[in-house]
Amino acid sequence: MKKECIAMLLAGGQGSRLYALTANVAKPNLPFGGKYRIIDFPLSNCANSGIDTVGVLTQYRPMKLNAYLGTGQPWDLSADDGGVFILPPYMSAGEKGNWFSGTANAIYQNIDFIDVRDPEYVLILSGDHIYKMDYADMLREHKEKGAACTIAVIQVSMDEAKRFGIMNVGGDGYINEFEEKPAHPKSDLASMGIYIFTWKKLRQALIEDEANPNSQQDFGKNIIPKLLAAGEKLWPYRFQGYWRDVGTITSLWDANMDMLSPETIDLYDQSWPIMSRSPIRPPHVAGPEANIRHSIVTEGCVVDGSVFNSVLSNQVVVEKGARVEYSVLMPGAHVESGAEVRFAILGENARICRGAHVGTEPDGTDNWGVATCGPDVTVGPGAMVAPGAMLYDDLVAT
């Protein structure tokens, strides 16, 4: 059962900055880009890179995510000697058991799972990034550079660098310093939260870190600085291409809008398919009054209204006379006749009734933002949802 490299995918985060959208589901399970869930991107990257064993670490509201992953068959990850393994926190004999206290602790608690597969290398992934990456190429570089850890980095502007974990690189090209959200960044190489570790080194570091009562048991804050301090070789793997973290309403909306521009990320490239588990639905229907431009529409949708610059997941209904612009409609969202949805995100099965208005165009003020309706929320006939609003419950017109 020896594997050269296995992946551990951190999918336990709550995604608290997505508010109503993640009140009942884990962030990696959020619908994205029409056909997908966020976790489809790292899972498909694994399958396309030839990594056949993926441990998915779950913690927050995992039921729907577990059902979505199933045996891993949609991502071609259901081989006899590999597959997708859901790894929730668990108890051992005589212990009370513990929640995962940090990203590093989540891996620490699953050392046994990794040891059984006896890998040379372990790839650590996040479940909330949108990108296409060949991990095999990253692994090749990791081996070539004889690193204990290789960190995928992406070039950002110096201004943006203040929001990221920044890697400072020495003359030999290796990382010599890590700074979390520096006020005065010295480099523009931002960590993407994707790591390849030589397992022996990581295993040792996790055990030592666990013994340190002051540690937050986090990869960025604790493990990376610890390896640097120990004089280990850390190599930056420079990634070029599209990569987005979708942790906030604005970034989730932005990244969905990016899917409308083929130059940002090509989802139609058959050589690197992004795979997903799809509900069994017929093709979508554009009705007699449909007017759809610069948009993504998925199977099971029925559109007889106007849809511009928007992303429609499966089974979305846009009735005749309804108008949807610059919006993201998750599975089963329904916009009734005469309703208007602008610059908004509609959660799964949200219903916008006749004559209701959700969101408006940007007006240049600081108060403006993308309007969000949570899953299963009904916006009553004629009701208004203000720009930037976050709707958790049904709304009736006043």
Partner 1 sequence: MRNDLHGIIYTLSSEPKLRELVEHRNSASIPFGGRYRLIDFALSMMVNAGVRDVSVIMERDYQSLLDHLSNGADWGLARRSGGLRLLPPFGLPESHSGHFNGCMEALRSVGSYIREIPSSDIVLCAADWVGNIDLGKAAELHRRTGADITAVCSEGYGPFPHHRLVPDGDGFARTLLFSEGGPGPGLFSREIYIIKKDVLLQLMDYCADAIHNHFHRDAIAHYLAGGGKIAVYEHNDYARRLVSVSDYFEASMDMYQPEVMQALFPADGLPIRTKERAEASTYYGETAKVTRTLIADGCIVEGELDHCILFRGVHVAKGAKLTNCVVMQDTVIQAGAQMNCVIADKDCVITEGRLLAGTERIPLVIPKGQTV
The yes or no reply on residue 260 touching partner 1 (CB under 8 A) is: yes
Distance in angstroms (rounded) separating the CA atoms of residues 261 and 259: 5
The yes or no reply on residue 257 touching partner 1 (CB under 8 A) is: no
Site for partner 1, residues 306 to 345, rule: CB under 8 A: 307, 311-313
CB neighbourhood size of 71 (10 A): 10
Binding range to partner 1, per CB under 8 A, among 83-91, 114-122, 289-297, 366-374 = 289-297
CB neighbourhood size of 159 (10 A): 9
Task: Quote the distance between the C-alpha of residue 335 and its chain's center.
Answer: 26
The yes or no reply on residue 286 touching partner 1 (CB under 8 A) is: yes
CB neighbourhood size of 10 (10 A): 24
Mutual angle of helices 135-144 and 40-49, in 10-degree steps: 60
The yes or no reply on residue 33 touching partner 1 (CB under 8 A) is: yes
**Which residue in the set 140, 163, 238, 294 belongs to the binding site for partner 1 (CB under 8 A)?**
294
CB neighbourhood size of 398 (10 A): 7
Token pair of 35 as six digits: 């056909």
Binding range to partner 1, per CB under 8 A, among 15-23, 97-105, 287-295, 318-326 = 287-295
CB neighbourhood size of 102 (10 A): 18
**Which residue in the set 273, 321, 380, 381 belongs to the binding site for partner 1 (CB under 8 A)?**
273
Burial class, 282, CB count within 10 angstroms (exposed 0-12 / middle 13-18 / buried 19+): exposed
The yes or no reply on residue 104 touching partner 1 (CB under 8 A) is: no
The yes or no reply on residue 351 touching partner 1 (CB under 8 A) is: no
Beta carbon of residue 72, minimum distance to partner 1 (angstroms, whole number): 13
**Which residue in the set 140, 291, 393, 396 belongs to the binding site for partner 1 (CB under 8 A)?**
291
Angle (CA) 23 28 33, round 5°: 100
Beta carbon of residue 346, minimum distance to partner 1 (angstroms, whole number): 16
The yes or no reply on residue 34 touching partner 1 (CB under 8 A) is: yes
Phi, psi of 293 (to 5 degrees): -140, 145
Binding range to partner 1, per CB under 8 A, among 121-129, 296-304, 354-362, 374-382 = 296-304
Nearer to partner 1 by C-beta: 129 or 334?
A: 334
Beta carbon of residue 378, minimum distance to partner 1 (angstroms, whole number): 18
The yes or no reply on residue 222 touching partner 1 (CB under 8 A) is: no
**Which residue in the set 275, 373, 377, 385 belongs to the binding site for partner 1 (CB under 8 A)?**
275
Beta carbon of residue 69, minimum distance to partner 1 (angstroms, whole number): 16
State the number of binding residues for partner 1 (CB under 8 A): 40
Helix (H) / strand (E) element for 385: namely strand 384-385
Nearer to partner 1 by C-beta: 146 or 282?
A: 282
Distance in angstroms (rounded) separating the CA atoms of residues 166 and 192: 10
Site for partner 1, residues 56 to 85, rule: CB under 8 A: 73-74
Phi-psi region of 165 (alpha: psi -120 to 50; beta: other; left: phi over 0): beta
Nearer to partner 1 by C-beta: 2 or 293?
A: 293
Helix (H) / strand (E) element for 144: namely helix 135-144
Closest CA to 370 of 34, 29, 18, 30: 18
Beta carbon of residue 80, minimum distance to partner 1 (angstroms, whole number): 13
Nearer to partner 1 by C-beta: 173 or 279?
A: 279
The yes or no reply on residue 280 touching partner 1 (CB under 8 A) is: yes
Distance in angstroms (rounded) separating the CA atoms of residues 72 and 39: 12
**Contact in structure between 385 and 351 (CB atoms under 8 Å):** no
The yes or no reply on residue 297 touching partner 1 (CB under 8 A) is: yes
Distance in angstroms (rounded) separating the CA atoms of residues 344 and 194: 30
Q: Which residues bind partner 1 (CB under 8 A)?
A: 33-35, 44, 73-74, 260, 262, 267-268, 273-276, 278, 280-299, 302, 307, 311-313
